[in-house]
Amino acid sequence: MAVVPARDRILQTAFALFYARGIRAVGVDLIIAESGVAKATFYKHFPAKDELVLAYLDKVDTIWSGQLRDAARAAGDAPGEQLVGMFDALASACRREGYRGCAFINAAAESVPGTAVHQRTVAHKESVRTWVADLADQAGAADPAGLARTLTLLLDGGLADGALSADPRVAEDARATARLLVAAATA
């Protein structure tokens, strides 16, 4: 059995705890205890809690952005279909056991504007919107930035509602709405 490096154990533990309980609700002492590292080891890798939070958000970004892009690619080669297909990632996310909504929206709600953590949440949302705008441009949308803004708002709304209602139709409704928006924007 492979030994997991201390930094990875800390990050894995923080990932689970931050998402399940919230960033503010989870203290460093709990992460140290749950990850099985010494306090000195923790602080060697993460001198401040915010540095761990940023590493957590980087990991979430890699996972979620990958899921969005994979769902888009699975929809086919046409950019318009990819814009609709990305909503399949929403369906997968909302069905996940322990789903608590968008980790970035949750982190933004717990952080102070202007802080590194808040800036990281904004950067993630801007990155997704830029990618969607590029697809919208490739699909021939008259206003790619406007379509991207509308689709990412729909995506964020689906992520939030998936946590509130746990209704599997949320993703289906969001996907159907996305199809209408893409068709109207590229007509």
Domains, the chain: 1-47 (1.10.10.60), 50-186 (1.10.357.10)
Residue for token pair 């590292």: 37
The span from the CA of 158 to the CA of 148, in Å, is: 15
The answer to whether residue 92 scores a pLDDT higher than 80 is yes
What is the pLDDT at residue 60? 96
The answer to whether residue 49 scores a pLDDT higher than 80 is yes
**For residue range 10-44, what is the model confidence (pLDDT) as tens digits?**
999 999 999 999 999 999 999 999 999 999 999 99
Q: What is the number of other CB atoms lying within 10 angstroms of the CB of residue 38?
A: 10
Which of 48, 39, 37, 38 lies closest to 12, judged by CA? Answer: 37
| C-alpha count within 13 angstroms, C-beta hemisphere, residue 160 | 10
pLDDT category at 93 given cuts 50, 70, 90 is confident
- The verdict on pTM exceeding 0.85 is yes
Phi, psi of 23 (to 5 degrees): -70, -45
What is the pLDDT at residue 163? 77
**For residue range 122-173, what is the model confidence (pLDDT) as tens digits?**
999 999 999 999 999 999 999 999 999 999 999 999 998 877 877 778 889 9
